[in-house]
Structure formats: structure tokens, C-alpha cells
């Protein structure tokens, strides 16, 4: 598969994932499984962007690992925020409020 075809396929997948996230945001009821789904979509989109559009295959392995790990940390934090939202809000509240 040529590089242009890979980019076009990646772009199409990104568009489908974006539209599915938009539909979930519009029509789905908030809940744990929706949060997990959105986090999964975020992880997939992040990985596609990192691998196809940021050209990290040419970067040093340590930079590539750090950026890929960040692409997994953000979705994990989304799920953690859903599970521990009130506790996190309490911890991050300014004193006196």
C-alpha cells in the first residue's frame, strides 16, 4: 500500500471515529460504558495521529514511546475522572472554597 493510500485510509478512519464520537455525545446517556467507549475512540484516534501524521517512526525510540504512552494516559485519565470525579474535584479545589 502506498504512503498516500495509507494516509487516505487513516484520514477516513479518523473521520468515522470522529462522527461516531459525535453521535455518542449527542444521543447516548452518560455512563461508564459510554465513557470507556469515548476513551477507546480517543486512544485509537491518538494512535493514528501519532503514527501516521506526526511521523514518529523517524524519531528516536524514547520520544516515540513517550508520545505513545501519552496517547494512552489521556484515555485512562478520562475513565479515572468518571470513576473518581467528585473526589478529584475535592482534591483540586482551592482552599477556602
pLDDT tens track for 34-83: 999 999 999 999 999 988 888 887 889 999 999 999 999 999 999 999 99
pLDDT digits (tens, 9 = 90+) for 6-27: 889 999 999 999 999 999 989 9
Q: What is the rounded radius of gyration, in angstroms, for the C-alpha atoms of the chain?
A: 17
In a domain, 34, yes or no: yes
Give me the helix-helix angle, 32-48 and 61-91, nearest 10°: 150
Q: Is residue 97 part of a domain?
A: no
Task: Establish if 96 belongs to a structural domain.
Answer: no
Q: Is residue 76 part of a domain?
A: yes
Judged against a pLDDT cut of 90, whether residue 93 lies above it is answered with no
Q: How confident is the model at residue 97 (pLDDT cuts 50, 70, 90)?
A: low
Residue 92, Cβ neighbours under 10 Å: how many? Answer: 7
Domain that holds residue 62: 3-91
Residues with Cβ within 8 Å of 1's Cβ and at least 6 positions away in sequence, in order, are 9
- Count of domains observed in the chain: 1
Q: Which residue has the cell 501519552?
A: 70
| Predicted confidence band of residue 94 (pLDDT cuts 50, 70, 90) | confident
**Does some domain include residue 29?**
yes
Is 70:50 a contact under the CB 8 Å cutoff? no
Q: Is the pLDDT of residue 96 over 80?
A: no
Amino acid at each position: 500500500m502506498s504512503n498516500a493510500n495509507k494516509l487516505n485510509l487513516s484520514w477516513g478512519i479518523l473521520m468515522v471515529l470522529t462522527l461516531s464520537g459525535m453521535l455518542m455525545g449527542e444521543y447516548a446517556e452518560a455512563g461508564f460504558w459510554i465513557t470507556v467507549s469515548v476513551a477507546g475512540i480517543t486512544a485509537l484516534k491518538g494512535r493514528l495521529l501519532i503514527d501516521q501524521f506526526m511521523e514518529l517512526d523517524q524519531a528516536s525510540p524514547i520520544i516515540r514511546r513517550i508520545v505513545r504512552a501519552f496517547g494512552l494516559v489521556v484515555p485512562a485519565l478520562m475513565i479515572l475522572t468518571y470513576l473518581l470525579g467528585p473526589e478529584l474535584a475535592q482534591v483540586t479545589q482551592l482552599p477556602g472554597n
